[in-house]
C-alpha cells in the first residue's frame, strides 16, 4: 500500500509539521518527562516547530529549570500558547520559548519560590530563581528599536521585568512598586515584550499569529510506561519509597526469616531505582553502592560483633547510592559550585531516612501494647497448663549454676555445651568469644542465659 500524500505535498507545497505538547498540570517529574520526550520526538520526527499548550499554576523549580534548559537548547522553534495561566515555574518555562502567545484572560508571572506550606522560601532559593529567570530572559537576546531617530539595541524581554516576577524588592517606574511580585495580564505582557500576540485557541495561534497556511498538528502523548515512570520520579513519592526501604530493612531485622518487610523494601528499591536508571540518572555504581551498603549493614548485625567499620561503611554507602541516583551524572562536576546539585537530593534522602527510623522506632515501641491495631502485631496469648501446654521440664531449672563452654560466638545469642549437651544460649554481658568458659545464670523461654566464669 502506498503512503498517504496530502494535497499540498502533491502540489509542491508541503505542510509545516507542528508537534503540540499539552502542559496542563503542575510542573513536576511527569511534566519534565513529557517535555523531554516530546522535544526528542520533534527532533527525531523532523517536525518544524513545537507548540506548548500551557495552563499551569507552577510547580517544582528543579524540573522547571530542566525544562527551560531543554527548550533553550532545542534545535527547532518552540512556541507557547498560555491558555489562561503561566504562574511561577510556568512563567520561567514560557519565557524560555521563542514566542509567547496568550488568551485575553491569560496571566504570566508570580514566580517567587515557596515551600510546602505556601510561604516564601529563604532568600537563598529566591536568589537562585532570580538568577535563572533573568538569564532566561537574557537568552532571548536584543532586537533593534528606533527611538528618537536613533537605532538602539534593547532586550527582547527585559531581564529586570523577569526578575520582578520573583523579587518583591524590584522597582520599575510605572510598572511595579516595591513589596509586590509582578504578574502580567495578557495586554500588559504584550505591551512590555512578554507576549507576541493574543489568540483565542491553538488554531488561531498557528494561522493568524505564527502565520502558517498549510500545516498539520500532532498532539504528543506519553506511553503508558513513560507515564508510570514520570509519576514514580515525583519528589514526594521518592521520599515515601526511601522510607519504605529503610523501614522494611528495620522491621525485617526484628523478625526471623524473610517476610513482608523484606519484600516491601525490595519492591520499593526497585520502584526507586528503575525509573532513574531508565532515564539515565542512576548508574550501575550507584545501585551497586546501595546493595553493598545493605550487605555490610546486615553483616554488621548478624556476623560481626558490635557496630563498627562495616556498619558505618554500609550506612554511608546506602546514603551515597540513594543520593547520587537522584543526580544527573553527565552534568555533575566535583567542584564547590558543581556539588550544589547534591544539596537537595542529599536533604531528601537524609530526611526520609531519619523520618523512617523515627516512625519505625515509634511503631516498635507500640507493638503488643494498648488496645489498637499495634497490639495485634504481637503474639500476646498465654500458654496455660489448663489448655494442655506443659511448662519447662524441671531438669532445665537444674542448669542454673552449671559450668559450660561456648560452642559459637555469643553476640549475644549462640550455642553452649553443658555436660555434653548443646543448648541455645544468650549472653547477659554482650559479646562472648567461642571456647569461653561460662556459667548459667538463669533459664527462660527455651534458652540459657550465661556470663563469663570469673577466675576469682
The tens digit of pLDDT for each residue in 418-451 reads 888 888 888 887 778 888 999 998 887 667 888 9
Q: What is the value of pTM for the model shown? A: 0.64
Q: Which helix (H) or strand (E) holds 39?
A: helix 29-44
Residue 452 C-alpha cell reads as 563469663
Q: Which pLDDT does position 412 carry in this prediction? A: 75
Highest mean pLDDT among 3-12, 77-86, 225-234: 77-86
Query: Is the confidence at residue 48, as pLDDT, over 90?
Result: yes
Q: With CA atoms as reference, report the closest residue to 353 among 307, 322, 326.
A: 322
Q: Which residues of 61-96 are buried (b: 16+ CB within 10 A; e: fewer)?
A: bbbbbbbbebbbebeeebbbbbbbbbbbbbbbbbbb
In this prediction, residues 372-387 reach a mean pLDDT of 53
Q: Which pLDDT does position 349 carry in this prediction? A: 87
Query: Is the confidence at residue 221, as pLDDT, over 60?
Result: yes
Query: Is the confidence at residue 184, as pLDDT, over 90?
Result: yes
Q: Which domains does the chain have, with CATH numbers?
A: 7-224 (3.90.226.10), 234-366 (no CATH), 385-452 (2.40.50.140)
In this prediction, residues 297-315 reach a mean pLDDT of 73
For the chain, give the mean pLDDT.
82
Query: Is the confidence at residue 101, as pLDDT, over 50?
Result: yes
Q: Which pLDDT does position 138 carry in this prediction? A: 94
Q: Which pLDDT does position 372 carry in this prediction? A: 55
Residues 279/229, Cβ–Cβ less than 8 Å: yes
Instruction: Measure the CA–CA gap between 145 and 112, rounded to whole angstroms.
Output: 31
Q: Which pLDDT does position 3 carry in this prediction? A: 43
Query: Is the confidence at residue 219, as pLDDT, over 90?
Result: yes
In this prediction, residues 368-387 reach a mean pLDDT of 54
Residue 383: pLDDT band with limits 50, 70, 90: low
Query: Is the confidence at residue 8, as pLDDT, over 50?
Result: no
In this prediction, residues 338-347 reach a mean pLDDT of 71
In this prediction, residues 49-76 reach a mean pLDDT of 92
Residue 394: pLDDT band with limits 50, 70, 90: low
Which residue intervals of 254-283 are DSSP H helices? Answer: 260-278
Q: Residue 174 — left, alpha, or beta (φ > 0 → left; ψ -120 to 50 → alpha)?
A: left
Instruction: Measure the CA–CA gap between 280 and 273, rounded to whole angstroms.
Output: 11
Instruction: Measure the CA–CA gap between 71 and 35, rounded to whole angstroms.
Output: 9
Query: Is the confidence at residue 371, as pLDDT, over 70?
Result: no
In this prediction, residues 18-46 reach a mean pLDDT of 91
Residues 348/326, Cβ–Cβ less than 8 Å: yes
Q: Which pLDDT does position 223 carry in this prediction? A: 81
Q: Which pLDDT does position 103 carry in this prediction? A: 96
In this prediction, residues 277-306 reach a mean pLDDT of 78
What are the strands, taking DSSP E only, across 110-264?
142-147, 150-155, 183-185, 197-198, 215-219
Residues for the chain: how many in total? 456
Residue 106 exposure: Cα atoms within 13 Å on the Cβ side: 33
- Give the whole-number percent of the chain exceeding pLDDT 70: 80
Residue 360: pLDDT band with limits 50, 70, 90: confident
Instruction: Measure the CA–CA gap between 166 and 135, rounded to whole angstroms.
Output: 13
Strand pairing report for 215-219 and 421-427: unpaired
Q: Which pLDDT does position 11 carry in this prediction? A: 44
Specify the residue for cell string 504578574.
Answer: 183
Amino acid at each position: 500500500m502506498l503512503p498517504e500524500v496530502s494535497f499540498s505535498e502533491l502540489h509542491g507545497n508541503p505542510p509545516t509539521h507542528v508537534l503540540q505538547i499539552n502542559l496542563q498540570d503542575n510542573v513536576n517529574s511527569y511534566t519534565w518527562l513529557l517535555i523531554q520526550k516530546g522535544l526528542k520526538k520533534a527532533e527525531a520526527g523532523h517536525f518544524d516547530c513545537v507548540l506548548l499548550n500551557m495552563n499551569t499554576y507552577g510547580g517544582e523549580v528543579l524540573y522547571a529549570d530542566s525544562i527551560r534548559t531543554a527548550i533553550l537548547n532545542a534545535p527547532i522553534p518552540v512556541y507557547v500558547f498560555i491558555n489562561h495561566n503561566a504562574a511561577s515555574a510556568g512563567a520561567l518555562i514560557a519565557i524560555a520559548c521563542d514566542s509567547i502567545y496568550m488568551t485575553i484572560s491569560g496571566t504570566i508571572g508570580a514566580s517567587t519560590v515557596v515551600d510546602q506550606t505556601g510561604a516564601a522560601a529563604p532568600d537563598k532559593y529566591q536568589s537562585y530563581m532570580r538568577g535563572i529567570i533573568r538569564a532566561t530572559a537574557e537568552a532571548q537576546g536584543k532586537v533593534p528599536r528606533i527611538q528618537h531617530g536613533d537605532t538602539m539595541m534593547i532586550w527582547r524581554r527585559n531581564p529586570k521585568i523577569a526578575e520582578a516576577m520573583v523579587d518583591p524588592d524590584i522597582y520599575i517606574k510605572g510598572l511595579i512598586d516595591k513589596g509586590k511580585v509582578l504578574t502580567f495580564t495578557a495586554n500588559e505582557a504584550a505591551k512590555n515584550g512578554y507576549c507576541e500576540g493574543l489568540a483565542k485557541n491553538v488554531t488561531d495561534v498557528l494561522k493568524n499569529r505564527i502565520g502558517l497556511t498549510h500545516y498539520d498538528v500532532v498532539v504528543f502523548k506519553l506511553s503508558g510506561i513513560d507515564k508510570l515512570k514520570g509519576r514514580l520520579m515525583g519528589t514526594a513519592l521518592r521520599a515515601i519509597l526511601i522510607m519504605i526501604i529503610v523501614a522494611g530493612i528495620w522491621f525485617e531485622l526484628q523478625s526471623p526469616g524473610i517476610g513482608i518487610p523484606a519484600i516491601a523494601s525490595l519492591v520499593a528499591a526497585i520502584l526507586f531505582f528503575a525509573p532513574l536508571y531508565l532515564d539515565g540518572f542512576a548508574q550501575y555504581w550507584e545501585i551497586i553502592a546501595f546493595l553493598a551498603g545493605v550487605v555490610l549493614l546486615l553483616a554488621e548485625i548478624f556476623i560481626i560483633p558490635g557496630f563498627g567499620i562495616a556498619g558505618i561503611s554500609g550506612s554511608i554507602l546506602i546514603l551515597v547510592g540513594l543520593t547520587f541516583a537522584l543526580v544527573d551524572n553527565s552534568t555533575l562536576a566535583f567542584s564547590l559550585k558543581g556539588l550544589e546539585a547534591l544539596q537537595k537530593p542529599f536533604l531528601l534522602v537524609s530526611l526520609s531516612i531519619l523520618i523512617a527510623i523515627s516512625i519505625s522506632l515509634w511503631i516498635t515501641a507500640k507493638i503488643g501494647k494498648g488496645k489498637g491495631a499495634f497490639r495485634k502485631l504481637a503474639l500476646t496469648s498465654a500458654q496455660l497448663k489448663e489448655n494442655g501446654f506443659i511448662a519447662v521440664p524441671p531438669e532445665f531449672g537444674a542448669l542454673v549454676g552449671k559450668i559450660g563452654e561456648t560452642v559459637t560466638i555469643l553476640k549475644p545469642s549462640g550455642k553452649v555445651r553443658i555436660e555434653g549437651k548443646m543448648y541455645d544460649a544468650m549472653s547477659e554481658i554482650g559479646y562472648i568469644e567461642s571456647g569461653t568458659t561460662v556459667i548459667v545464670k538463669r533459664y527462660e523461654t527455651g534458652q540459657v542465659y550465661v556470663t563469663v566464669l570469673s577466675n576469682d
